[in-house]
Structure 1
Amino acid sequence: MNLTDKLIVLADAAKYDVSCASSGAPKRSSRSRDGIGATNGAGICHSFTPDGRCVSLLKILLTNFCLYDCQYCVNRRSSDVPRARFTPEEVVRLTLDFYRRNFVSGLFLSSGIIRSADYTMEQLVRVARLLRTEHGFRGYIHLKTIPDAAPELIAEAGLYADRLSVNIELPTEAGLTQLAPEKSGQTIRRAMGRIRLGVEESDAEPRAPRFAPAGQSTQMIVGADATDDFTILGSAQRLYGAYGLKRVYYSAFSPIPQSPRSVPLSAPPLLREHRLYQADFLMRGYGFRAGELLSAPGNLALDIDPKLAWALRHRDQFPVDLNRADASTIARVPGIGVRNAKRLVQLRQIRRIRWDDLVRLRCSMSTLKPFIAVQDYRPGLGEAASETLRHALTATPATQLALW
C-alpha cells in the first residue's frame, strides 16, 4: 500500500477512540530558530471529519493489526477489515507534512498490539522521540499507552508526549472479562498509577524534565454491555480521584459488520453519551458527586439534562436567594453556570441583584425562573409540582439545550 492508502485505512480505524482532545496542554517554550509547531496560536487551521466534528490533530493508528480479540473492537483479531501499518518514519513524515500545510497542530497516535506490548510501545515512543529530538517538533503529541508495556517505556513516552492515555475500555472488571478476556483491569489501573506518579514527581521537582504535562485521560465504551450509567459515573468518579485524570471520555458502542453475538446488534442512543458528558462536566466543574446525579442504579434521563433533573428531585433546596447564597450554590441553579455565578457574587458587592441583571448576563431565564429569588422576584407559593414543571421545561428542544 502507498502512504495515502495507509492513511485512509488507519485514520478511519482511529475514529472510534474519542479520548484525543488537546485541551490542557501547556505551551512549550521554543526558540524560534530551532523548533517548529505550536500547541495553540494564530495560523492553525482545522480540518473537519465527515460527521462535522472539528479536529486539529492528525489522529491515526500506527497499525490496525492486533493480537487481541476484544469483541467490541473493529480492529479485533477476528475482524474482517482492511489492514495496514505505518513505519514510525512514515508517521513522522505525515505529521510534519500536515503541520506545514496548517491542517493540524499536533498528533494523536494509538495502535493495535503487534508482536508484543513492549514492541508496540517502542514503536509509538520512537515516533515521539523522532519528532521531538530530530525534527524539533514542539506541537502537541498525545500517545495512547499500552498498559502491558514495560514501565521504562511508559516513562520514556511521558518525556516526549504532552498527554498519555490508557483506555479503561469498560467500566467493570466483569465487562472486561466477558468482552476482552485478554485484557486486565488491574494492569490498566497499574499503568494509570505509574503515569500519575510520573506527573506528580515531575511537578514536585521544577528542574526535572516535564512528564506528560497535559496529564492523562481514558475512555469508556457505553452500551457494549449491560452496565448502567450509575455504575459508569461511579467508575469515572473513582478514576478521577485515584489517578488524577484530566478527562474521562465516553464512546457510544458502534456495531460493526459481522459483530459477534456477545455484543449488542444495535447502538445505544447517542443522547445517552451526551448525557454522560453533561454529568461528567457537572462532577468536574460544579462539584457534584456521582451519587447526587444518580442516587440508584439506572440510566440518566434522556429527555432532561442531569443538572435540571437533580434540581427537580431536590425542590426543598430551592429557591436559591442569589443575594445570599455562595457561588457554588448559585452554580447549581439550572440556567446559571459557574462563570455567571462568580459574576453575580461580584455584582452583589456593589448592589442587590435584580431580575434584569440575570437577563443582561444572558442566563436561561425560562429554566431558572422556578429556582431563584432576587430583589424583585420570588417564585409563587403555588409553584408547579416537579413533574408538571419538568414537562413545561422540556416542551421544546431550545429549552432542553439552553443550559448547555
Structure 2
Amino acid sequence: MELKDKISILADAAKYDASCASSGAYRKAARGGIGNLEGSGICHSFTPDGRCVSLLKILLTNFCIYDCSYCVNRISSQIKRAKFSVDEIVNLTMDFYRRNYVEGLFLSSGVARSSDETMEEMIEVARRLRVDHKFGGYIHLKAVAGCSQELLNKAGLYADRLSANIELPTPKDLTNLAPAKTHTEIEKSMEQIQGRIVENIEEKKLFKKAPQYSPGGQSTQMIVGATKSTDRDIMTKASDLYGNYQLKRVYYSAFSPIPDSDPNLPLVKPPMIREHRLYQTDWLLRFYGFKVDEVLPTDHPELDLDRDPKLSWAIRNRGTFPVDLNSAPKHILLRIPGLGVRNVDKILATRTFQKIRLTDLAKMRVHLDKIRPYVVTADYTPPLSQLDSLHFGKHQGPETHVQLDLFSSFKESVTGEF
C-alpha cells in the first residue's frame, strides 16, 4: 500500500480519540537535537493569542483483535485496513516537523496481535525519535489495555503523556459493548502509570539527572451517549478517576454512529451540547469545589442542556443568594454564576483594602447583567423581584454554546465565567 493511502486511513481512524493534550509537560531539545516542548497545548486547537498548534495524530494500525461494538476498527468491521512500520512513523514525524506542519506526535493503535507486541512497537517509535533523532517535541502514547507494567515503565521514559482509555462510564456498559475489556484491567494500567510517576518525582528529588517519566501525567477518555448511562454516572466515574489516579484530564467524546453497528447502539449521535456541559461540570468539580452530588443529585441525574451547570445549581439553591462580595469566603464566591476563578481571586485581593462596588466588577470585565441577581456590593442590593422563583436565573440573556478549549493550560482555561 502507498504511504499516502496509509496516512489517509490511519489518520482518519485516529480522529475518534480526543484524549490528547500536552499541558504540564516541559522538555528541551538535547544539544544538536531538534524540537522543543514548552507548556503550550499541542493538538488541533488554538491558543488564546490565536496561534494554531498541531500534532501528527495517527494510529500505528487499525487492525484489531477486539470486537468492541462502538469502535469502527473492531475485528468484525468491514473497513479498509492498514499498518505503518516503525520507520514510516518516525520518518513522517520528522519530515512533518521540519516542514513546520506539526509540533509533536500522538500515537495510538488497534491491537493487531497482542497488547504487548503492539505496545512494544509504539515504544520503539518514541525511542527512535528521542534517541536516534534527538527529538524534543511532544510525544503522547496510548497505553494499550492489558500490556505489561515493564512496557508501561519503558513507555513513560520517552512519552510526555500516557493515556489509558476507560472507554465507558460503568463496568456493565463495558461488559455489554466490549466484553474483552474490563475496568479492572484498564484501571490497573492507570494505577501502574501513576505509581511510576510518583516514584519518579521522588527520584528527581534525590538525583537531578534521573530521567523523566511521563512529565505531562496521564489522561483518559469516556464515550458519551453510546449507552443509557446518565450524566451522573459519567461524572461519578470521572471524579473517582481523578481522585484515585490523579489524572490530568478526563476527555468526553460524543458517540459517533458507525456502519454495521450493534443494534443496541443508538442510530444518532448525542447533541454536542451534552459533551460541552460535561466539560463545564468537569471544571466545576476540579477548580470550583463542587461535588458530583451537588451538581447532579440523585433526583436530577442529567445535566440541563439549556443552561450551564453552575446556573442550574444556583437555581436549585436559591437560598444561598444573594452573596455579599465583601464578606463571603472564597468557596462561596466560586459558586456565583458569572464569576470565574481569576475574578474571584481579584475580588479577594481588592476587598482587603477597599469595599467592592459594581464599578470594580466592571473593571474586572464581569458581566454585570449576568451577576446582579446573585450578589450584594457596597452600592448595590438586588431587588426582591430578582430573587423570586419565577425570575431567578432568567437574567442571563441568550447563552452562546461555545466548546471549551480542551487543550489550554489551567490558567488559560479557568477564565470562563460560568
Q: In the alignment, residue 159 of structure 1 is paired with which amino acid?
A: L
SS of 1:390's partner is: coil
Q: In the alignment, what sits opposite 1:170? A: 168
Give per-residue Cα distances to partners, 1:165-213, cap 9 Å, x unaligned: 0000001000000000011111001000000000000011212321111
Mapped to 2, the partners of 1:224 and 1:327 lie a distance apart of 38
Once the two structures are TM-superposed, the CA of residue 227 in structure 1 deviates from its matched residue by 0.3
Mapped to 2, the partners of 1:177 and 1:387 lie a distance apart of 45
Q: In the alignment, residue 125 of structure 2 is paired with which amino acid?
A: V
- Where relative contact order (Cα < 8 A, 6+ residues apart) is larger, the structure is 2
CA 1:175/1:55 → structure 2, altered by over 3 Å: closer, same or farther?
farther
CA 1:233/1:371 → structure 2, altered by over 3 Å: closer, same or farther?
same
SS of 1:205's partner is: helix
Q: In the alignment, residue 403 of structure 1 is paired with which amino acid?
A: E
Mapped to 2, the partners of 1:41 and 1:388 lie a distance apart of 44
Q: Within 5 Å, give how 1:312-327 maps onto structure 2.
A: 312-327=315-330
Once the two structures are TM-superposed, the CA of residue 236 in structure 1 deviates from its matched residue by 0.4
The match for 1:301 among 293, 301, 304 is: 304
Q: In the alignment, what sits opposite 2:222? A: 220
The match for 1:351 among 328, 351, 354 is: 354
Q: In the alignment, what sits opposite 1:132? A: 130
Q: In the alignment, residue 10 of structure 1 is paired with which amino acid?
A: L
Q: Within 5 Å, give how 1:373-388 maps onto structure 2.
A: 373-388=376-391
Q: In the alignment, what sits opposite 1:99? A: 97
Q: Find runs of 4+ consecutive structure 1 residues off by over 4 angstroms.
A: 44-49, 398-402
Mapped to 2, the partners of 1:22 and 1:41 lie a distance apart of 7
Q: In the alignment, residue 356 of structure 2 is paired with which amino acid?
A: I
Check the 8 A contact 1:45/1:102 in 2, yes or no: no
Q: In the alignment, residue 2 of structure 1 is paired with which amino acid?
A: E
Identity rate of aligned residues, in percent? 52
Once the two structures are TM-superposed, the CA of residue 68 in structure 1 deviates from its matched residue by 0.4
The match for 1:252 among 243, 251, 254 is: 254
Q: In the alignment, residue 417 of structure 2 is paired with which amino acid?
A: L
* TM-score normalised per structure 2: 0.90
Q: In the alignment, residue 204 of structure 1 is paired with which amino acid?
A: E
Once the two structures are TM-superposed, the CA of residue 160 in structure 1 deviates from its matched residue by 0.6
Q: In the alignment, what sits opposite 1:9? A: 9
Q: Within 5 Å, give how 1:206-285 maps onto structure 2.
A: 206=204, 207=207, 208-285=210-287
Once the two structures are TM-superposed, the CA of residue 350 in structure 1 deviates from its matched residue by 2.2
Mapped to 2, the partners of 1:36 and 1:54 lie a distance apart of 20
Q: How many residues of Structure 1 are paired with residues of Structure 2 in the alignment?
A: 397
Give per-residue Cα distances to partners, 1:224-266, cap 9 Å, x unaligned: 0110001110000000000110000000000012222121111
The match for 2:142 among 111, 135, 144 is: 144
Task: Tell me, yes or no, if structure 1 residue 341 matches structure 2 residue 344.
Answer: yes
The match for 1:189 among 187, 190, 194 is: 187
SS of 1:333's partner is: coil
The match for 2:198 among 182, 197, 200 is: 200
Q: In the alignment, what sits opposite 1:29? A: 28
Check the 8 A contact 1:142/1:164 in 2, yes or no: yes
Once the two structures are TM-superposed, the CA of residue 82 in structure 1 deviates from its matched residue by 1.4
Check the 8 A contact 1:6/1:85 in 2, yes or no: yes
Check the 8 A contact 1:313/1:386 in 2, yes or no: no
Once the two structures are TM-superposed, the CA of residue 318 in structure 1 deviates from its matched residue by 1.3
CA 1:369/1:199 → structure 2, altered by over 3 Å: closer, same or farther?
same
Check the 8 A contact 1:229/1:300 in 2, yes or no: yes
Which consecutive unaligned segments of at least 5 residues does structure 1 have?
none
Check the 8 A contact 1:46/1:103 in 2, yes or no: no
Once the two structures are TM-superposed, the CA of residue 147 in structure 1 deviates from its matched residue by 2.0
Mapped to 1, the partners of 2:109 and 2:224 lie a distance apart of 21
Give per-residue Cα distances to partners, 1:149-169, cap 9 Å, x unaligned: 111011100111010000000
SS of 1:389's partner is: coil
CA 1:400/1:111 → structure 2, altered by over 3 Å: closer, same or farther?
closer
Mapped to 1, the partners of 2:147 and 2:181 lie a distance apart of 12
Once the two structures are TM-superposed, the CA of residue 45 in structure 1 deviates from its matched residue by 10
Check the 8 A contact 1:58/1:107 in 2, yes or no: yes
Once the two structures are TM-superposed, the CA of residue 399 in structure 1 deviates from its matched residue by 9.6
The match for 1:364 among 363, 367, 375 is: 367
Once the two structures are TM-superposed, the CA of residue 398 in structure 1 deviates from its matched residue by 4.4
Mapped to 2, the partners of 1:403 and 1:68 lie a distance apart of 43
Once the two structures are TM-superposed, the CA of residue 46 in structure 1 deviates from its matched residue by 8.0
Give per-residue Cα distances to partners, 1:335-371, cap 9 Å, x unaligned: 1100011111111122111101111111122221111
Mapped to 1, the partners of 2:63 and 2:390 lie a distance apart of 52
Which consecutive unaligned segments of at least 5 residues does structure 2 have?
404-415
Task: Tell me, yes or no, if structure 1 residue 403 matches structure 2 residue 401.
Answer: no
Mapped to 2, the partners of 1:113 and 1:72 lie a distance apart of 15
Once the two structures are TM-superposed, the CA of residue 298 in structure 1 deviates from its matched residue by 2.3
Q: In the alignment, residue 222 of structure 1 is paired with which amino acid?
A: V
Mapped to 2, the partners of 1:195 and 1:398 lie a distance apart of 38
Once the two structures are TM-superposed, the CA of residue 332 in structure 1 deviates from its matched residue by 1.7
CA 1:203/1:351 → structure 2, altered by over 3 Å: closer, same or farther?
same
Mapped to 2, the partners of 1:388 and 1:55 lie a distance apart of 43
Check the 8 A contact 1:328/1:338 in 2, yes or no: no
Once the two structures are TM-superposed, the CA of residue 95 in structure 1 deviates from its matched residue by 0.8
Q: Within 5 Å, give how 1:74-113 maps onto structure 2.
A: 74-113=72-111
Check the 8 A contact 1:13/1:75 in 2, yes or no: yes
Mapped to 2, the partners of 1:41 and 1:169 lie a distance apart of 27
Q: In the alignment, what sits opposite 1:329? A: 332
* TM-score normalised per structure 1: 0.94
